[in-house]
C-alpha cells in the first residue's frame, strides 16, 4: 500500500517512523514543510526536513525532538566566543548537514535533490520531499505589532508573543517540488500527520495544485494535532485562531473538510466525533499520543488498517 | 619598541607568543601568510591566520599545533557520514571561526577586517594582519607531474610527493593588506619568524612593495627555520631547492641577503656564522628551538635585546 504523508517536524516524524516500520521499503513518501527554513550562522537550516530525516534513519535525539543523538554544540559555542548572538541552537553534526546542503545549493543543486542525497547517505528508504524548491518563509505578526521570522518567534521568543497573523513570504510564486503532486495523486492513501495546521501543513496546502490534488483523492486521512483542546506539541493551539478555527479536533477538521475523507481524533476526544461527521468526514477515534516508538507503531498500523 | 613580525603557522606562532609576552600591548604586529588559505566544507579556512590567533589568545592546541584546545570534530564526522571526503581535519569551534569569516566576507567585509574582528573578540592585543585581502593560492607541482593545491600536498598527501615547483596563483595581482607596508616601514624592528621560506614567508615577500620596504629598513632580523640541515617543523627542507637554496641556515640567509641586517642561526649551527657574515649580515647564534613557552620567551627576549 503506497502512502504519501504530509508532515512538519516532531509529531510528523513520530508517525512517519511508525509508517516506515509498518510498510515495505519504497511504499512511503514524506512531503515536508520548508516554510520554517532559515539561514543561521551562514548555513541553510531546514528544520522539519532534517528532523524527519534524522528520525527516519534512527539517529534523532528523540528526547529533545530535533537534532542528532550525542551531538556536540561547539560551532555555536565558537560563535558565542566570537561575540555573536547564538539564540538558535544547532548541533555540530547537525550543522554538517546544513553546511552540506548550503554548499550543494550554492553549486546549483535543488533543495529536493540535496534532501534526497542526504536521506540516501543516511540509509533512509522513505522518500523525503521538501514541499518546494522555492523559498517560502513563515513570518509571524504579533499582537504587539512586530513581524518576526518564524525561528525568531519559535526559538528566540519561545512562542510567547500573542500571534495576530501568519504570513508565508514567497508562497504565491512557489511551486511544489518535483514529484510532490504525483506523490499525492498516485498514493493509495494520503495521511496528514498530526502537525501544526497553521505553520507546518498550512504552507504545504497553500502550494498551487496541492489542495486540488487532495480534493481529487478519495482516501485522505488526517490525524488531529489537537487533543482535549491543546496542541500535543508546539504552538498550534496559540495559532489556530488566525485561520478562524476553534482550538479543538473539530476545529482542525473544519480546515480540512474540503478534501479529508477520514478524520482521526484522539480517543479522549470521542465526543467530538458526531460534530466532525456532520462536516462530511468519516471520524475514527484512536490513541494518537505517540509517547514512545511502540505507540507510533500502533497508531501507524491502525491508520493503515482503516 | 615596536616590532612587526612576518609569520607562517606554528613556528611563527611560538615566536609571536614570546614576543607578545615581552612587549607592551600594541607594540607587536604580525603579518601572516594567507597563501595556504582554502575553501573546505564550504568555509574559508585561513590556517596560518587562525593558528597565530589561537596561539596568541592562549586557546591553541599547542600539542597538535593547529586548532583549538578541547575541540570536537563532529562537523567533519557529519560530512563523512554523508559520504563526503574528509581528509582535511577541522575542529568544530575552529570551524565556527571559518564560518564566521565566510559569512562576513560574503557580506563584503575584507579578510583583514574580519581577522581583526576575530582577534579582538578573542582578546588578542597583538595586531594580526593577513598578508593580503586578495586571494593568493599556493600550488605545488610534484616531480611526478601533478599540480596540487597546497592543502592537498600538505595534509592529504602528507608532504610526501617530491616537489618540483611551487606556484602562487594570484600573487601578481595581489596587494598587501591595508597597513602591511606601513607596519613594516614604521616598526623599530622587523623580525622574520623561523617559518617556511618557500610557502610561508615566500608569498609575503613576493607581494608588491614588501621586499622594497624591507630593503629600506635598517633593522631586519631573520631567524633560521633550518637547524643542522633540517627543518625544525614542516616541509621547508623538502622545498628549499625550488628557490635554488641549500638546505642550511646559510642557504636561507642567502634568500634574505638583500634586506636582512641580522641573521639568527641556532647555536648548534654556529660554524655557519662566518659564511653568513660573508653575505653581509651580522650573524648571531641563539637557542632557537622553541620546545616550550619558556623557550619561546627566552628567544623572543634575546631577539629584542639584539
Average pLDDT, chain A: 97
CA nearest to B186, candidates B149, B218, B228, B225: B218
Predicted local confidence at residue A71, as pLDDT: 97
pLDDT grade for A201, boundaries at 50, 70 and 90: very high
Predicted local confidence at residue B304, as pLDDT: 98
Residue B78 has its nearest CB partner, among A79, A97, A117, at A97
Which helix or strand (DSSP H or E) is residue B167 part of? strand B163-169
Q: Which residues of chain B fall short of a pLDDT of 50?
A: none
pLDDT grade for A90, boundaries at 50, 70 and 90: very high
Give which of B74, B86, B117 to mutate to test A binding, by max A Cβ within 10 Å: B74
Q: Does some domain include residue A262? A: yes
* pTM for the whole structure: 0.93
A122 chain-B contacts, CB cut-off 8 A: 81-82
Residue B103 has its nearest CB partner, among A42, A75, A94, at A42
Q: Does some domain include residue A166? A: no
Structural domain that includes position B234:
3-39+51-60+124-135+172-305
Residues 6+ apart with CB under 8 A from B10: B51, B65, B66, B233, B234
- Number of domains comprising chain B: 1
Span A144-166, mean pLDDT?
Answer: 95
Sort strands B137-142 and B163-169 into parallel, antiparallel or unpaired: antiparallel
Length in residues, chain B:
306
CA A57 to CA B78: how far, in whole Å?
Answer: 14
CATH of residue A219: 3.40.50.10680
* ipTM summary value: 0.92
CA A178 to CA A153: how far, in whole Å?
Answer: 30
Give which of A99, A109, A122 to mutate to test B binding, by max B Cβ within 10 Å: A99
Q: Does some domain include residue A218? A: yes
Ramachandran category for residue A70: left, alpha or beta (phi over 0 → left; psi -120 to 50 → alpha): left
Q: How many C-beta neighbours within 10 Å does residue A41 have?
A: 23
A81 chain-B contacts, CB cut-off 8 A: 93, 96, 121-122
Q: Does some domain include residue B147? A: no
**Percent of chain A surpassing pLDDT 70:** 100
Q: Does some domain include residue B112? A: no
Residue A75 has its nearest CB partner, among B82, B83, B95, at B95
For B3-16, what is each residue's pLDDT tens digit?
999 999 999 999 99
For A168-184, what is each residue's pLDDT tens digit?
999 999 999 999 999 99
CA nearest to A181, candidates A48, A50, A31, A49: A31
Give which of B38, B40, B42, B69 to mutate to test A binding, by max A Cβ within 10 Å: B42
Q: Enumerate the H helices of B132-264 as residue ranges.
A: 150-151, 180-186, 201-206, 210-216, 249-255
- Cβ pair B122:A82 closer than 8 A: yes
Q: Does some domain include residue B78? A: no
For A24-51, what is each residue's pLDDT tens digit?
999 999 999 999 999 999 999 999 999 9
DSSP result, chain A: --EEEEE-SHHHHHHHHHHHHHS-TTSEEEEE--TT-EEETTEEE-HHHHHHHHHHHT-B-TTTSSSBTT---HHHHHHHHTT----S---HHHHHHHHHHHHHHHTT--HHHHHHHHHHHTT--SEEEESBSS--EEEEEETTS-EEEHHIIIIITTT-SPEEEEEEETTTTPPBPTTHHHHHHH-SEEEE-S--TTTTHHHHHHSTTHHHHHHH-S-EEEE-SEETTEESSSSGGGTGGGGT--SSHHHHHHHTTTT-SEEEEEGGGGGGHHHHHTTT-EEEEE-----SHHHHHHHHHHHHH-
Residue A75 has its nearest CB partner, among B82, B96, B121, at B96
Q: Does some domain include residue B220? A: yes
Residue A75 has its nearest CB partner, among B42, B83, B92, at B92
Predicted local confidence at residue A269, as pLDDT: 97
CA B75 to CA B80: how far, in whole Å?
Answer: 9
Q: Does some domain include residue B179? A: yes
- Cβ pair B42:A103 closer than 8 A: yes
CB contacts < 8 A, A to B, total 103
- Cβ pair B74:A76 closer than 8 A: no
Predicted local confidence at residue B41, as pLDDT: 94
Predicted local confidence at residue B138, as pLDDT: 97
Amino acid at each position: 500500500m503506497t502512502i504519501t504523508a504530509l508532515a512538519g517536524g516532531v509529531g510528523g516524524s513520530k508517525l512517519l517512523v511508525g509508517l516506515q516500520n509498518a510498510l515495505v521499503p519504497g511504499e512511503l513518501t514524506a512531503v515536508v514543510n520548508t516554510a520554517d527554513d532559515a539561514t543561521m550562522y551562514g548555513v541553510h537550516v531546514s528544520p522539519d526536513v532534517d528532523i524527519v530525516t534524522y528520525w527516519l534513519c534512527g539517529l534523532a535525539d528523540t528526547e529533545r525532538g530535533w537534532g542528532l543523538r550525542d551531538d556536540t554544540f561547539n560551532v555555536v559555542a565558537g560563535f558565542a566566543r566570537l561575540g555573536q548572538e547564538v539564540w538558535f541552537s544547532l548541533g555540530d553534526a547537525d550543522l554538517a548537514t546544513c553546511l552540506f546542503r548550503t554548499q550543494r545549493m550554492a553549486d546549483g543543486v535543488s533543495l529536493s535533490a540535496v534532501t534526497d542525497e542526504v536521506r540516501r547517505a543516511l540509509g533512509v528508504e522513505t522518500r523525503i520531499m521538501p514541499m518546494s524548491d522555492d523559498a517560502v518563509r513563515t513570518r509571524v505578526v504579533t499582537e504587539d505589532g512586530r513581524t518576526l521570522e518564524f525561528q525568531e518567534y519559535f526559538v528566540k521568543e519561545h512562542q510567547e508573543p500573542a500571534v495576530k497573523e501568519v504570513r508565508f513570504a514567497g508562497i504565491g510564486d512557489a511551486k511544489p517540488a518535483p514529484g510532490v503532486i504525483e506523490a499525492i495523486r498516485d498514493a493509495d492513501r494520503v495521511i496528514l500527520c498530526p502537525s501544526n495546521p497553521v505553520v507546518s501543513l498550512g504552507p504545504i496546502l497553500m502550494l498551487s495544485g496541492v489542495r486540488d490534488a487532495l480534493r481529487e483523492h478519495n482516501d485522505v486521512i488526517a490525524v488531529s494535532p489537537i487533543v482535549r483542546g491543546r496542541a500535543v506539541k508546539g504552538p498550534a493551539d496559540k495559532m489556530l485562531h488566525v485561520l478562524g478555527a476553534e482550538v479543538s479536533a473539530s476545529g482542525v477538521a473544519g480546515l480540512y473538510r474540503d478534501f479529508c475523507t477520514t478524520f482521526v481524533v484522539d480517543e479522549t476526544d470521542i465526543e467530538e466525533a458526531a460534530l466532525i461527521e456532520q462536516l462530511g468526514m468519516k471520524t475514527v477515534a484512536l490513541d494518537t499520543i505517540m509517547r514512545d516508538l511502540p505507540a507510533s507503531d500502533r497508531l501507524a498500523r491502525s491508520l493503515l488498517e482503516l
